[in-house]
Amino acid sequence: MWHLERVWEERNQAAVLLVSGSIIVMIAVADWWTMPYVSLGFLYLFPIMLGAGFLPRWLVALLGAGCAVLSEVFSSLDRSTVRLAFETLALSGCGLFVGELVRNRRLTLDAQERLKEEQERLKILVETSPAAIVTIDERGFIELANHAAAELMAPREGKLVGSPIAAFLPDLHHALRWEEAPQFRATMQCRGHRGSGEPFTADVWFSTYKYGPNPKLAAIIADVTEETGAANSHAFHAEHQERPLLSDREMNVLRLLVQGFANKEIATHMEVSESTVKNTLQQLFAKANVRTRAQLVRVALEQYRDLL
């Protein structure tokens, strides 16, 4: 499919300006030839719009005024200053309007190209780093992850990209939800979970940033677990055996909570009222013996991962 904006690509500048000037000359000759019968001055609009994508604003306005003078000179009507002024305004205004559209389009394309280059550089940096690095989009899903991160978090399907970070590091997901806050850098130590459900302690260095209009987060993760794998496995199985039974509604609320949804979003997904969601969360807090949402998410990933 042919795109009109390609006419104003930089490589076409000389050809487009030459064609635009030639059309103006041809219209002037034709207008002079047909002067007793019909006025062709309105046709100057097309070469002006064609050249406006490359000419500076002052030159577009000057070209519009010049074409308006030619139209008035070769008109069969009596000379009129008012008509000349309106013709100048119409021709120059249309040219300036098209020029602004072309400039804005170029700026948009340049910005998109820069974003693609930045994304490629970030992807190369992530994939070649020996440290575990992930980037997270505004919804809390992993966008980029290198081999070290996959080895650290060991996802069940063998693929981290596209998985919610809350399934592995819930505290990191909650850091991303501060989208109203300014961009910041921070470090923290939190508890994480591998794809198998095995817990580990992680030191996380992360920073938020903007990619276009969307907030994102990049993090470097290190496993600093001091306990042996056998002790962790024993504690994990013991917690599974002692977990309280949950109703279907409680399990559904817990599942959506782990994915990072707010109360209103959970209510919409479950087609219940927000107060029902709040009551269910209070029941979950009591059963899990916790006080905060982050603590509840941690308990959910430790004790109910197989059901989630």
206 band by pLDDT with thresholds 50, 70 and 90 = confident
- Measured at the alpha carbon of residue 131, what is the angle toward residues 149 and 193, in degrees to the nearest 5? 35
Mind listing the pLDDT tens digit for each residue in 74-90? 887 778 888 889 989 99
Cα-Cα-Cα-Cα dihedral sign, residues 116, 122, 126, 129: positive
> Model's pTM, two decimal places?
0.44
Is pLDDT above 50 for 146? Answer: yes
For residue 62, what pLDDT is reported?
Answer: 93
Structure tokens that stand for 299 in this block: 């308990």
Mean local confidence (pLDDT), 244-267: 84
Q: Which of 9-18, 204-213, 228-237 has the lowest mean pLDDT?
A: 228-237
CA distances from 219 to 123, 186, 187 (A): 13, 10, 9
Mind listing the pLDDT tens digit for each residue in 215-246? 788 888 888 875 434 445 545 554 445 678 88
Sequence-separated (6 or more) residues with CB below 8 Å from residue 13: 54
Greater confidence (16 vs 158) lies with 16
For residue 182, what pLDDT is reported?
Answer: 55
Is pLDDT above 50 for 1? Answer: no
Is pLDDT above 50 for 141? Answer: yes
What percent of the chain shows pLDDT beyond 70? 86
Structure tokens that stand for 137 in this block: 């989009």
For residue 26, what pLDDT is reported?
Answer: 92
Nearest to 219 by CA among 293, 130, 126, 298: 126
Q: How far apart are the first and last CA of the chain?
A: 47
Mind listing the pLDDT tens digit for each residue in 125-139? 666 666 788 888 888
